[in-house]
Structure 1
Amino acid sequence: MARAAKKKPVLELIEFSRARDIPFNRIHLSNDNVREVDADVGLDELEFDVERREDLILGINVRAILDADGNETGDFETPAGGRRHRVIARLVAKGRFPEDGLVPCIVKKANAKTSAVDDSLAENTFRQALHPLDQFRAFKRMVDGGMKIEEVASAYFTTDRYVEQRLVLAKVSPKLHAVYAANGMTLKMLEAFTAHPDHERQEQVWEAVQQTHRNEPWQIRDMLTETTVPSSDKRARFVGLDAYLAAGGPVLPRYLFDDDEDGWLEDVKLLDRMVAEKLKAAADEVAAEGWKWLAADLELPYGYDHDLRGIVGTFAELSAKERRQREKLRDEQERLETEYAGHEELPDHIDRRLGEIEKQLEAFERRPVVFDPAEIAFAGAFVTVDEDGELIVDRGWVRPEDEPVETVEAGDEPEADAEAETDADSEAEPEVQRTVITVGGEADEPEEDEKAVRPLPERLVIELSAHRTIALRHAVGNNPRIAMTALLHKLVHDAFKRQTHGAGLHVSVREIYCGEQGVDLKNTPYAKAVDERHENWKARLPADSDALWDWLEALDDDSRMALLAHCVAFGVNALYERPNPLSASGISEAGLQRRLSEADRLAIVTGLDMAEAGFRPTVANYFGRVTKQRILEAVAEACGASTANLFELQKKDKLGLAAAAEERLANTGWLPEPLRLMVEEPAIEPDADGAEADVALPDFLAGEEETDAESVIPAFLKRRDTEDAADPDADPAPLVAAE
């Protein structure tokens, strides 16, 4: 038997309320409007927008007012649209709209099922905020349609800068817009992608971000601009952005989300050439002063004046007019400081004026130094650029080979002259030139098997030991008691080891210069501290050498000890250098062992920790110069094996792995092995004839008697590899930071 078809329910049709125009003077505010708190907030902006448009975007929702018998009175109340009603009232008061002017309204049906309160609450509740991406695109369409940026900013009560930022956000790759719309990235991340206008480059970086998880905005911006030079770079400041642009150099658009950066210079080769040309021109100008030699470089190494003698010049005399001007500035400075001494905060114009006075007075102090022309003839100067892009000229340095010598009369001591000439000839043997191929300042070595553990490059070990040497110099210079102990240790060693040749009492401290060093050494906290302390003492020393003894005699005990510590510290030597297995020249293995052991002792007694001193392993000074396996081992030591395994899975390229390791290990205190304490070794005992017996170097410096870097330090980490093989589940050994 067939079933009867089931009937669908009949739905009641919805009938919308009708719209009509009603004179404004017949519309009244309703007591049922739910917006009571801050009801007038934003009315100025809304009034401006209505005046600008000369129209309402949205009509007013009204209900008929009934009399006691339930009949319509002809007046209406507005439970939804109170803010628009208040704005129209303002326009009526200003004469911009007639009192009986017609207002578009939605008139609620007499048989409406919802109350006035319900309507008011619904209008203020069921709103969906505009997605920021829609705003970006809307601003762009408005500007593309002919509106000026200033007009858009004025219409929406914001700044020109805000509109410009939204316009550049609207120009980011549509693929990244889709990711942002789906909440796949934050607004800050999207802002970072505006650093480069090329959509393909933006999408490449986004893919890299997903692979490496380097998703901080600053990291994204760095990846986008890694082949460019920021305008804040010393090279860009030295050349000048206008000069670079005039030479045809392209610049990425100004980054609108950071006031510190005005763009990136794309043609690095052009910039470097302009830097070299400007530096050469400045060097030529200085050379015209008559110096014997001149060294110009964008980066001078730390301790560039090592083994050079500085000649003393005198400041150029001020003219009578300049002296009067200086005194006038000093009087004004003193008057202003006295007048505003009781103020917690100086007024802006006074603060600016005091800053101007200070700069002008500094200019008097930095006036040119006049040198004796006779000394200029055998001295030289350095020309470089500081971090602010300012040209720096350091004049008046004499090289040892340029020191003037007294003329020996004919017939005087011919034997000595002949002997000296013979010695000079014997010592002037040509150095063996070894070809070193470098790429980006580093040795160009083929990448090897990721799992292979190679010893650290010898150049890297040398550079790291330079960091330790300067840090130890700072630590010893800050501790007079230890400096005195070190000096006494040296004297006792000399006195009781039968080293009696020479003068009766001969004590000297030779400054140890780090010939091989990374570019970051001079900017480390410990190097800057040593330089600052040296300059402070230098400023206090008398210019006349004959007065030095009396000046030292007059020092109090604390100052004498502090000066002693500073001077002794210059003899600290923790440098690694390749030992000569034949001991014909250079340092022997036993000598290197003794040097590094004594450096350990100084590190222990001064409490030196290289991490606390300011050393941080970076791509430039470590991670970018070792194998991927070593990077992973460093991560494992600092953060655990699980983190290292995660890194190995996520980082496919060495550069990304090195950068991630730098970021992750930045504040962990992890240090490369050359910056840690050496394992304590037995004391060096002399053999029967008084000579010191050979002592094996520590594992990470030991090697076969070969001449290549790999053989000199072949077991830097093989010791740990052997231990790990014996117990693969063992936790990494704790690090000892003595650096």
Structure 2
Amino acid sequence: MTSPSESPAAAGADPVRTGGAASGLAAVQFGEVRDIPLNRLKASPKNARRVGHSAEVIEARAASIRHKGVLQPLVVEPEIKDGQETGYYLVSAGEGRRQALRLLAKRKALAKGAAVRCVVDTANDPAEVSMDENLSREPMHPADAYEAFKDLAERKGYGAEEIAARFGVKPDIVRQRLRLGAVAPALLDLYREEALTLEQVTAFAVNPDAARQLQVYERLSPHQLTPHVIRRAMVEDKVISTDRRAQFVGVEAYEAAGGPVLRDLFTQAGGVCWLEDVALLETLAADKLAQVADEVRSAEGWKWASASLDFPHGHGCSRVWERLRERAPGESEAINALIAEDAELTEQWADIDPPPPEVAARFEAIAAQLEAYGDEYGYDPGELARAGVFVVLDAYGEARIERGFVRPEDEPAPEPQDEADAADRQAADASDPDDANEDEGWDADASDGVGEVEEPAGDPAAPLPDRVIAELTAHRSAALRDALAQNPDLALVALVHALAVRVFGAYPVPTCLEIQWASRDLTQFGEGIEDSPAGRAIAERHRSWARQMPSEGADLWAFVVGLDHDSRASLLAHCVGLSVYAVRNWDRRPHALAHAETLASALDLDMRDYWKPTAVRYLDRVTKAHIAAAVSDGVSAQAAARLSGLKKPDMVATAEPQLVEAGWLPPILRTAKPQPQAVDAEGEGRQRGLEAPSEAEDALALAGGDPHEPPQHGGAADPASLSAEDEEQAAASLAAAE
């Protein structure tokens, strides 16, 4: 070994120089280049790096060394103890390479004593060498690295896995860099010039079509060049894998049919991709729906089945519903006996789980027998023979089956009009004196008292004149109004009957009450309304009532009368509920919308039971600022701060479970709590928010209600005369409404 006093520098041996001492140029390298055994290299205590390299970095260095060797010699100094060299060397620069070599030796990829090219530098201060090693290097620009990865893949033919092995990184990282390297060169140049950010370049790289990238860049204005807008524009002609059509068909089935898929390499949500052949996807969805429709038609015996992606609201069909089946003699008694036995066994063994084997077997036998008897409701065979089903795709990617629709051409022919009735009507027309006078041009007033004509006796069996009938029945109508007003119970029956006639209008309108009823189609305002929890509950409740309705309109009154009080109230609530229309859109209705808030408050409506802040329903459709504000409001300010810097998809994926778990709602979906009981000037108790028009209505009007809308009467205070307390109440009501 060479002692420090005998080192080349100390002994007068010049280090390698570019032009010799006379030139005055600095040395290219100090020290002697030696091959030193790996097991003779140690970490230097003078290393300026106190935080060591991560395991991932060491893995990457090891992979690089394994494929390309040590590209840069280590800088070392001899270890000195008691004034003598120990034979070991301390690594001043290259500790990461030393650890990578030791890792390879541990894995038997090289010998523990393998020779390592080193520069033995005793001229420079080791601590300064270590510091310079870590500070003087400048990493290459990311755009240069992306293009270098792309060049390696194209020129050498390496795939992502091969490149990953050679550089010690994950294949997914390589795929991302290759995708970024394929971004249009003009856009990468803008990134180098800092005219674009990495987030913007990443958004362009979602779609590798360079021409499309430039097209989107030129189309968007500078203030539109946000990552979210860019990403949306890059895939606007494609279908995301969370789309209902993709969920129904399945990405695997779509790919098996030859459909190209564009995968998102830059979000951590996982599984997100875009299906590029929209026509193929819709064909596959339509074919699968048609298969479902054919299976339903064959299995249930319908005349026809029609499949479509969306429900054809303008189908022009009438609808039939299930009816109570006629049971064979003794069947109902047998079914009731089985149900009673099941209830008795359930009560008897309620505290023992599981019950004894013989009891469990009896439960199964009862269930099998009840299933064999079939559902108590079903379609009439004649209706099945002329009706059909619509099979449509719901918002969650599942087939929804709507049964019992009758096309106009399949409607049963109306019964021919009774000839006797027609003859009676003709006779009545002929016997009406007023009509006869008009037909014959007879005018009693024109006779001037000369030769008065005696009125013919007529037929006592002939119908009364129309005008007389109208007058008499007008008196009867007035009497009915008065009598019904004095009988609230029967008035409720008549109201339920009149509403049911219109809600389940499969027959003429057999009611004398002029009750107007309408139900707006809410699906025009948003997707997924029919398949939401509220939509499904309404449809099931409607189906349950519809199948109990009598088939003939004349029997509907007896049906309503025969209901018990609770059932009749439930039917009324269903019919009234369908008429609610509280959508905020271009049609400004401040008083109606204020009443919707009053109604929600009275019902103590909790939208958390009906709506969740999911990506599809909310987060994907609002800005990152809205998402951060929602998390801050619903979770915590700290949770919102952790979203800072995330890309929109990652932000959505992180925020969604937190907001759903917290039960967060946008302010417009929150229900104001009912105000406590207040006492007015006359001492009469009243509940704020339950009278019409309420303070919320006045507040909405003050906040910009339509000045041309007619005033709503009902005792509301003049907004100009509101007290300070009332103004505070109006402001609170308006805030709740908005």
For normalisation by structure 1, the TM-score amounts to 0.51
Kindly indicate whether residue 138 of structure 2 is the aligned counterpart of residue 128 of structure 1: yes
Alpha-carbon distance in structure 1 between the residues aligned to 2:548 and 2:378? 15
Alpha-carbon distance in structure 2 between the residues aligned to 1:400 and 1:575? 33
1:83-162 matches, within 5 Å, as 83-88=96-101, 101-109=114-122, 112=123, 114-144=124-154, 145-162=156-173
- Does the CA-based 8 Å contact 1:608-1:738 persist in structure 2? no
Partner of 1:173: 184
Q: Which amino acid aligns with 1:178?
A: D
Alpha-carbon distance in structure 2 between the residues aligned to 1:575 and 1:44? 60
Other structure's SS at 1:387 match: coil
Other structure's SS at 2:162 match: helix
Deviation of residue 171 (structure 1)? 1.0
Kindly indicate whether residue 537 of structure 2 is the aligned counterpart of residue 535 of structure 1: no
Deviation of residue 173 (structure 1)? 0.8
1:268-307 matches, within 5 Å, as 268=279, 271-272=281-282, 291=302, 296-300=307-311
Deviation of residue 280 (structure 1)? 5.6
Q: Which amino acid aligns with 1:395?
A: R
Alpha-carbon distance in structure 1 between the residues aligned to 2:35 and 2:232? 60
Q: 1:20 aligns with which of 33, 47, 60?
A: 33
Deviation of residue 554 (structure 1)? 7.0
Partner of 1:450: none
Partner of 1:358: none
Q: 1:229 aligns with which of 232, 239, 247?
A: 239
- Does the CA-based 8 Å contact 1:677-1:738 persist in structure 2? no
Q: Which amino acid aligns with 1:81?
A: G
Kindly indicate whether residue 238 of structure 2 is the aligned counterpart of residue 198 of structure 1: no
Q: 1:391 aligns with which of 387, 392, 399?
A: 399
Other structure's SS at 1:191 match: helix
Q: Per-residue CA shift, 1:381-416, capped at 9, x if unaligned?
A: 222122344333222245799776896797664458
Q: Which amino acid aligns with 2:44?
A: S
Q: Per-residue CA shift, 1:573-604, capped at 9, x if unaligned?
A: 7999xxxxxxxxxxxxxxx99xx798467446
Q: Which amino acid aligns with 1:49?
A: A
Other structure's SS at 1:377 match: helix
Alpha-carbon distance in structure 2 between the residues aligned to 1:381 and 1:92? 72
Deviation of residue 199 (structure 1)? 1.4
Structure 1 residues 520 and 299 mapped into 2: Cα distance closer, same or farther (>3 Å)?
Answer: farther
Q: Per-residue CA shift, 1:354-401, capped at 9, x if unaligned?
A: xxxxxxx9xx99x99964321213433222122344333222245799
Partner of 2:45: 31
- Does the CA-based 8 Å contact 2:44-2:91 persist in structure 1? yes
Structure 1 residues 602 and 296 mapped into 2: Cα distance closer, same or farther (>3 Å)?
Answer: farther
1:200-219 matches, within 5 Å, as 200-217=211-228, 219=229
Deviation of residue 549 (structure 1)? 7.0
- Does the CA-based 8 Å contact 1:228-1:267 persist in structure 2? yes
Alpha-carbon distance in structure 2 between the residues aligned to 1:136 and 1:18? 37
Deviation of residue 551 (structure 1)? 9.3
Deviation of residue 202 (structure 1)? 0.4
- Does the CA-based 8 Å contact 1:63-1:78 persist in structure 2? yes
Matched positions, count? 485
Alpha-carbon distance in structure 1 between the residues aligned to 2:54 and 2:389? 71
Alpha-carbon distance in structure 2 between the residues aligned to 1:494 and 1:303? 39
Q: Which amino acid aligns with 1:190?
A: V
Kindly indicate whether residue 57 of structure 2 is the aligned counterpart of residue 57 of structure 1: no
- Does the CA-based 8 Å contact 1:64-1:72 persist in structure 2? yes
Deviation of residue 338 (structure 1)? 8.0
1:566-585 matches, within 5 Å, as 566-571=574-579
Q: Which amino acid aligns with 1:13?
A: L
- The structure having more radius of gyration, on CA atoms, is 2
Kindly indicate whether residue 599 of structure 2 is the aligned counterpart of residue 606 of structure 1: yes
- Does the CA-based 8 Å contact 1:227-1:266 persist in structure 2? no
1:682-693 matches, within 5 Å, as 682=711
1:478-489 matches, within 5 Å, as none
- Does the CA-based 8 Å contact 1:253-1:264 persist in structure 2? yes
- Does the CA-based 8 Å contact 1:236-1:271 persist in structure 2? yes
Other structure's SS at 1:523 match: coil
- Does the CA-based 8 Å contact 1:522-1:528 persist in structure 2? no
1:311-322 matches, within 5 Å, as 311-312=322-323
1:69-84 matches, within 5 Å, as 76-84=89-97
Deviation of residue 214 (structure 1)? 4.8
- Does the CA-based 8 Å contact 1:255-1:262 persist in structure 2? yes
Q: 1:187 aligns with which of 198, 216, 224?
A: 198
Deviation of residue 161 (structure 1)? 2.5
Alpha-carbon distance in structure 2 between the residues aligned to 1:123 and 1:310? 83
Other structure's SS at 1:121 match: helix
Other structure's SS at 2:33 match: strand
Q: Which amino acid aligns with 2:75?
A: N
1:476-515 matches, within 5 Å, as 495=481, 506-507=494-495, 508-509=498-499, 510-511=502-503, 512=517
Other structure's SS at 2:47 match: coil
Q: Tell which has more relative contact order, 1 or 2 (C-alpha 8 A, sep 6+).
A: 1
Alpha-carbon distance in structure 2 between the residues aligned to 1:82 and 1:18? 18
Other structure's SS at 1:63 match: strand
Partner of 1:448: none
Structure 1 residues 600 and 542 mapped into 2: Cα distance closer, same or farther (>3 Å)?
Answer: same
Other structure's SS at 2:273 match: coil
Alpha-carbon distance in structure 2 between the residues aligned to 1:160 and 1:496? 84
**CA RMSD of superposed structures (Å):** 5.8
Alpha-carbon distance in structure 2 between the residues aligned to 1:43 and 1:682? 74
Other structure's SS at 2:92 match: strand
Q: Which amino acid aligns with 2:388?
A: G
- Does the CA-based 8 Å contact 2:286-2:307 persist in structure 1? no
Structure 1 residues 495 and 306 mapped into 2: Cα distance closer, same or farther (>3 Å)?
Answer: farther
Deviation of residue 170 (structure 1)? 1.4
- Structure 1 segments unaligned to the other structure (5+ residues): 1-9, 316-326, 328-333, 340-360, 420-490, 577-591, 616-665, 686-733
Alpha-carbon distance in structure 2 between the residues aligned to 1:401 and 1:296? 19
Structure 1 residues 77 and 195 mapped into 2: Cα distance closer, same or farther (>3 Å)?
Answer: closer
Q: Which amino acid aligns with 1:198?
A: D
Alpha-carbon distance in structure 2 between the residues aligned to 1:134 and 1:310? 69
Q: Which amino acid aligns with 2:76?
A: V
Q: Which amino acid aligns with 1:161?
A: D
1:541-552 matches, within 5 Å, as none
Most deviating of 294-303 and 370-379: 294-303
Kindly indicate whether residue 285 of structure 2 is the aligned counterpart of residue 256 of structure 1: no
Alpha-carbon distance in structure 2 between the residues aligned to 1:264 and 1:105? 54
Deviation of residue 207 (structure 1)? 2.7
Identity %, equivalent residues: 28
Structure 1 residues 222 and 254 mapped into 2: Cα distance closer, same or farther (>3 Å)?
Answer: same
Alpha-carbon distance in structure 2 between the residues aligned to 1:264 and 1:400? 39
Q: Which amino acid aligns with 1:78?
A: V
Alpha-carbon distance in structure 2 between the residues aligned to 1:173 and 1:669? 43
Q: Which amino acid aligns with 1:21?
A: R
Other structure's SS at 2:395 match: coil
- Does the CA-based 8 Å contact 2:263-2:273 persist in structure 1? yes
Structure 1 residues 14 and 521 mapped into 2: Cα distance closer, same or farther (>3 Å)?
Answer: closer
Other structure's SS at 1:151 match: helix
- Does the CA-based 8 Å contact 2:395-2:528 persist in structure 1? no
Other structure's SS at 1:77 match: strand
Structure 1 residues 281 and 160 mapped into 2: Cα distance closer, same or farther (>3 Å)?
Answer: same
Structure 1 residues 575 and 401 mapped into 2: Cα distance closer, same or farther (>3 Å)?
Answer: farther
